[in-house]
Amino acid sequence: MNFKTLTALAIITASLPGQALAHTGNDHVHGIASGFLHPFSGLDHLLAMIAVGLIAARLGGSALFRLPLAFVSAMVAGAAYALTGVTVPLVETAIITSVVLLGAALIANANIPVALAITGAVTFGFFHGFAHGTEGPAAAPLGHILGFVGGTVILHITGIAAVHSLARHGAGPTSALRAIGTGIMGAGIGLAFVA
């Protein structure tokens, strides 16, 4: 995809109605099945979680499992914190910022230290988890958490598999990851205007 195509895709995505954001405040999430679908139901979660997998595969080595594990662990902690009834300001802003920064990291294609990548994954994971937790059913929060953990792991694996597929087919993943990062960052910027 060229830059014009990615830009057009980002603009179209950003012009979608509010369902582009997975956490609209509606009490529509119930149990494992809906928890599982929640990461897929909003572009903000979907892009951030795939980007974590892409970055993990790009960094390789121990980051391949440490980055997704850090994100998922912090997400569970964020959801648990939300279940206490505490409010955290600027959750939507933090989530959209995570999409933009993860896209920027793919564009930069830098060999950042794994510790810094994990710090980012923990920070972003907490806010994504907090948003998931605020929409979980009070009567069955464990099923909801297990569900969105499963959905998130699948999205991380999707990102990892995409990088490995590019490498297997002889395509240099660097230019492809930069193009994907541009699309993710553009969509994140567009979501900032929808939120």
The pLDDT tens digits for 48-77 are 999 999 999 999 999 999 999 999 999 999
Return d(Cα 155, Cα 171) in angstroms, integer: 22
Q: Is residue 164 part of a domain?
A: yes
Average pLDDT over residues 34-45: 90
Residue 161 Cα to chain centre, angstroms: 16
Per-residue pLDDT of 114-172, as tens digits, reads 999 999 999 999 999 999 888 877 666 888 899 999 999 999 999 999 999 888 876 66
Domain membership flag for residue 117 = yes
pTM of the predicted protein model: 0.82
Q: Answer yes or no: is 18 within a domain.
A: no
Tally of domains within the chain:
1
Residue 123 lies in a domain: yes
Asked if residue 10 is part of any domain, the answer here is: no
- Give residue 56's domain range: 27-192
**Using H for helix, E for strand and C for coil, what is the string for the chain?**
CCHHHHHHHHHHHHCCCHHHCCCCCCCCCCHHHHHHHHHHCCHHHHHHHHHHHHHHHHHCCCHHHHHHHHHHHHHHHHHHHHHCCCCCCCHHHHHHHHHHHHHHHHHHCCCCCHHHHHHHHHHHHHHHHHHHHHCCCCCCHHHHHHHHHHHHHHHHHHHHHHHHHHHHCCCCHHHHHHHHHHHHHHHHHHHHHHC
Is residue 17 one of the residues assigned to a domain? no
The verdict on residue 184 lying in a domain is yes
Domain presence at residue 8? no
